[in-house]
Amino acid sequence: MQPILSFHSPLLTQLAQRIAQLPHDPTLQPYAVLVAITDEAQPKILYSLRAAQLRQHAGEVSFAGGRRESYDCDNCATALRETFEETGIAPNLVKVIGELPLHYAKSGRPVKPIVGIIPPDVTLVPETGEIARLFWADLGTLITQPTVDYVYDMHAQQLISPSFIIDGETVWGLTGRITATLLAVGFDRNIDWYFNLQDKQVPLTAITHPAPP
């Protein structure tokens, strides 16, 4: 029988109870992230903006996390270790309440989201080589916050997908989908996370006409 966890917000209590009902998959995944949420009356979710000089995902919003190392005993160990390296949050400060279903990045890489509760006064020390800034989203606000379309430029085509605007940053893609899954599991907020691929509209000035005979 799962122990009853006590939190400072009924939102966290409900989330923990819902996540505890999800199946646990011990399969080791190559990547894992931590969805860190503060234990306070108005819980907040931690996000990171990736540094501009990174070779991959530069300037994108993500959860703390990364690649599994051979000495990581499970997906949770990967998420906690990477979170400590990127944000300074020590693993012993994280109360893990479970995991969300496996997600896939746009590259096809599988990513396991781990959900953990952290103290509201935790000291953050971003790893400046990887993290441009750390910022928060109010969980209660996020539950009802509307999404907006994000347009991703793919040269001749464009990808249109939902996103959240949080503290001036656009949260879309994998991080947006994990956020949407958290809201669906914990609070019945079901978002149609579509990916619409369409050709760009050709400007009239770029249209060429055959020369008259």
Write out the residue range of the structural domain in which residue 124 sits.
10-144
Q: pLDDT tens across 60-81, in order?
A: 899 999 999 999 999 999 999 9
End-to-end CA distance of the chain: 84
Could you tell me if residue 105 is inside a domain?
yes
Alpha carbons 207 and 115: distance in angstroms, whole number = 51
Model confidence at 50, pLDDT cuts 50, 70, 90, reads: confident
Alpha carbons 8 and 17: distance in angstroms, whole number = 14
Could you tell me if residue 186 is inside a domain?
no
- The pTM assigned to this predicted structure is 0.88
- The string over 57-68, giving b where at least 16 C-beta atoms fall within 10 Å of a residue's C-beta and e elsewhere, is beebbbbbbbeb
Model confidence at 213, pLDDT cuts 50, 70, 90, reads: very low
Residue linked to tokens 């992230």: 33
Give bridge partners of residue 149 from the DSSP assignment: 162
Model confidence at 210, pLDDT cuts 50, 70, 90, reads: very low
Give the domain CATH number at 119.
Answer: 3.90.79.10
Could you tell me if residue 70 is inside a domain?
yes
Could you tell me if residue 166 is inside a domain?
no
Q: pLDDT tens across 89-116, in order?
A: 999 999 999 999 999 987 889 999 999 9
CA dist list (Å): 64 to 3, 31, 115, 204, 208: 27, 11, 11, 44, 49
Between 50 and 156, where is the model more confident?
50
Alpha carbons 75 and 171: distance in angstroms, whole number = 23
8 Å CB contact between 15 and 186:
yes
Could you tell me if residue 170 is inside a domain?
no
Could you tell me if residue 58 is inside a domain?
yes
Alpha carbons 178 and 61: distance in angstroms, whole number = 12
Largest CA distance in the chain: 84
pLDDT score recorded for residue 137: 98
8 Å CB contact between 182 and 100:
yes
Alpha carbons 116 and 94: distance in angstroms, whole number = 6
Domains contained in the chain, number = 1
Pair type for strands 157-166 and 196-199: antiparallel
Pair type for strands 31-38 and 110-118: parallel
Alpha carbons 74 and 69: distance in angstroms, whole number = 10
Residue linked to tokens 């080589």: 129
Could you tell me if residue 196 is inside a domain?
no
Could you tell me if residue 65 is inside a domain?
yes
**Does pLDDT of 202 surpass 80?**
no
